[in-house]
Amino acid sequence: MQRVRGLVAAALIGVPLGAFLFVSLHASREIAALVGSGVGLAIFAVVATGTDAQDAAADAAWRQAAPDLPPASDRITLERNQATMPGPEKGRRTSPRPRDDR
């Protein structure tokens, strides 16, 4: 449903924008179509990736089925709970090496 909403929003903004550029600003058809479709694509990307009630219900079902696993969209918790990798035991030298005089 979000994709359909995204297509409608993109068409409602992109087509009038392209027509405005072509008629009022005397842009070429190619430039007007390019700008209108670019803005429409950006609007589609934003609207189509939004969450709706169905996504929230699917996330709630996932949490109920697997309460010990974090949701895939909870990136902050996943990054916070990452295992730390062991680092070097002693610090690195920060001073530059002496150059050989030739």
Banded pLDDT at 95 (limits 50, 70, 90): low
Banded pLDDT at 85 (limits 50, 70, 90): low
Q: Is the residue at 66 inside a domain?
A: no
pTM score, two decimals? 0.56
For 50, other C-beta atoms within 10 Å of its C-beta total 10
> What phi and psi values does residue 30 have, to the nearest 5 degrees?
-65, -45
Q: Is the residue at 13 inside a domain?
A: yes
12-36 pLDDT, tens digit per residue, is 999 999 999 999 999 999 999 999 9
Q: Is the residue at 91 inside a domain?
A: no
Print the domain residue range for 7: 1-48
DSSP 24-61: TS---HHHHHHHHHHHHHHHHHHHHT---HHHHHHHHH
How many domains is the chain built from? 1
Cα 3 from Cα 96, distance rounded (Å): 56
Q: Is the residue at 24 inside a domain?
A: yes
Q: Is the residue at 30 inside a domain?
A: yes
